[in-house]
Amino acid sequence: MFRKNLQYAKNMMIGIYDQYELWIRLCYTQEGPEEYAAFLEKERVEFENFEGISSYETMRRRLGAVSFGRLPSKRNSEADPDKKRSLKREERILKIC
């Protein structure tokens, strides 16, 4: 049971990493909010290499070190407002979970 639950937690962290990948790709699409890319890439690093974790204690320490910042604001952005809103909403949901 321990290994099954730990694997579930690792899969969740890998899923979060994958979600950051999608958001970063969105930033670089046409009219994407490119000003968010560097910030998201920095946060994504915190979710790398979770598959090698072998104990809950290590998982707890890694998760305790994760810090969610605030997306940078840029009023005169060329980005599509709908793409910006979507990305902000999804990131907010992740932080709540």
Q: Decide if pLDDT at 58 tops 80.
A: yes
Phi/psi at 50 (5° precision): -75, -25
Render pLDDT for 81-94 as a digit per residue (tens, 0 to 9): 888 888 888 888 77
The distance from CA 42 to its chain's CA centroid, rounded to whole angstroms, is 9
**32/16 Cα distance (integer angstroms):** 20
**87/54 Cα distance (integer angstroms):** 32
pTM: 0.81
Amino acid at 60: R
| Helical H segments across the chain, by residue range | 2-27, 37-44, 56-65, 81-96
